Amino acid sequence: MKRLLLALPALLVAMIATSSAALGCAGLIGPNGAVNLIRTTTFAGYHDGVEHYVTSFQFSGGSGQFGSLVPLPGVPTKVERGGDWTLQRLVRETEPIRATSRFALGPLGAAGASDAQVLMTAKIDALDITILKGGGPEVGRWATEHGFRLPPDAPEALDHYAERSPIFMAAIFDADAAKARGQRVGDGTPVHLTIPLDAPWVPLRILALGKDATARVNADVYLLTDKRPALLPAPRANGMEITHSAAATASLLGDLRSDKGMGWVPQDAWLTKVRIDAAASQLRYDLAVDAFGRPPSRVAAGLEPPATPAAPDTTLPSALLLTAITLASGGALLFATRAARRVA
């Protein structure tokens, strides 16, 4: 039985989404610049070939809209409101004293192709969720047309993820609607995605989107597996560190299982916490996980490109082919010349 639970605070990359015009000159702050997205938090659970993502959006007030664009490893079959305490319970399990401090201000990114395919939409409290399928250009265009101000490194990053899975979740958080609903600063809106999947991976590289090379990226990844998982890249390299690795307590599993939509949590599991504390320039990888301890995929880890048919080099082979054909033709003519001479 495969099972995996990933908790990834601040995994999502937040990008400013406003209805006003994109800003053409530097030095400007968006109309919603005063609105702070405290943290965008994500969980993903994996059990019997189905991954469960639980994402929580929190904000610190203000007005306007925020957007997040999240690479997903597969197509969700369900998008619904998530449970209320899964994230907090996991944090408390591994860092009971510092739990509240973990919800600091999350990073905000500075804020042609055919259309991306909209697979699913859902409205959860003040969040508008759209599941998209498409390549980097299609998803990027969709995001731009829907008010996202993508940072300059977004086109390459979107291509990177689309080559691995052309599925993205776009989430637009309406702070005004949140206030109208009575949500207070620090309140979160959890979202639960159910994703049938063979091999999970956690996007980490996108955490550096829109950041200066020296900016720090901090994130926590929780894994819950049947046994100790294999990870790639290896922790303790490039800003990764395992800060917790032990059998999950019955108390934790029971608490998780009692949350909304978390009934899939197994009776026994291994809990691993990976902490990311890296410079943005270091974060050129994702986290590939194998719940059975086998070597994880280097492609999923972002360490090598997907195995696609090599694009033919249309220049040199064509030239060589044409040269060969020409030489053969010329040779045939020479042969005909000599043959004709012998006949004469």
Q: Determine, following the binding rule CB under 8 A, whether residue 96 of this chain makes contact with other proteins.
A: no
**Single-letter code of the amino acid located at 23:** L
Q: Determine, following the binding rule CB under 8 A, whether residue 315 of this chain makes contact with other proteins.
A: yes
Q: How many C-beta atoms surround the C-beta of residue 105 within 10 A? A: 11
Q: Determine, following the binding rule CB under 8 A, whether residue 108 of this chain makes contact with other proteins.
A: no
Q: Determine, following the binding rule CB under 8 A, whether residue 113 of this chain makes contact with other proteins.
A: yes
Write b or e for each residue in 202-214: b if 16 or more Cβ atoms lie within 10 A of its Cβ, otherwise e: bbbbbbbbbbeee
Residues between 121 and 140 that touch other proteins (CB under 8 A): 136-140
Q: Determine, following the binding rule CB under 8 A, whether residue 318 of this chain makes contact with other proteins.
A: yes
Q: Determine, following the binding rule CB under 8 A, whether residue 21 of this chain makes contact with other proteins.
A: yes
Out of 77, 121, 144, 251, the only residue in the binding site for other proteins (CB under 8 A) is 144
Nearer residue to other proteins within complex by CB, 101 or 214: 214
Find the angle CA(228)-CA(85)-CA(217) to the nearest 5 degrees: 65
DSSP H or E segment with residue 124: strand 117-124
Q: Which of 119, 115, 113 is nearest to 131 (CA)?
A: 119
Nearer residue to other proteins within complex by CB, 157 or 253: 157
Torsion of CA 306, 119, 259, 92, to 10 degrees: 40
- How far is residue 222's CA from residue 8's CA, in Å, rounded to a whole number? 6
CB of 13 to other proteins, least distance (A): 14
Residues between 61 and 90 that touch other proteins (CB under 8 A): none
Whole-Å CA distances, 249 to 245, 260, 270: 12, 19, 9
Out of 13, 110, 232, 301, the only residue in the binding site for other proteins (CB under 8 A) is 110
Nearer residue to other proteins within complex by CB, 34 or 327: 327
Binding site for other proteins (CB under 8 A): 21-28, 110-113, 136-141, 143-144, 149-156, 158, 210, 212, 315-316, 318-320, 322-323, 325-327, 329-331, 333-334, 336-337, 340-341, 344
